Amino acid sequence: MRKDSFIYRFFNLYYEGFRDMKLGRTLWTIILIKLFIMFAILKVFFFPNFLKEHAPGNESSYVATELIDRAEP
């Protein structure tokens, strides 16, 4: 691939940028740990989609029942 082509220069921007990072390595490590905690632990184990668990495919009826019943005296 020609080194002055757009695709090469685009790839090279990221490649050399990531390769030469100093503080960026620490920050990326923190970002990845944070995303892992959020998506692989918190989302999976602590934040299920409530309606999909309790009323799969029937969400509107479930919410209707909730909204109507909660208005009862």
Distance separating alpha carbons of residues 60 and 48, to the nearest angstrom: 18
Residue ranges that bind other proteins, judged by CB under 8 A: 9, 12-14, 16-18, 23-24, 26-28, 30-31, 34-35, 37-38, 42-43, 46-51, 54, 59-61, 63-73
CB of 12 to other proteins, least distance (A): 8
Query: Buried b vs exposed e over 26-64: b needs ≥16 C-beta within 10 Å?
Result: eeeeeeeeeeeeeeeeeeeeeeeeeeeeeeeeeeeeeee
For residue 49, give the DSSP letter. Answer: -
Q: Rounded to the nearest whole angstrom, what is the least distance from the CB of residue 2 to other proteins in the complex?
A: 16
Tell me the closest approach of the beta carbon of residue 1 to other proteins, in angstroms: 17
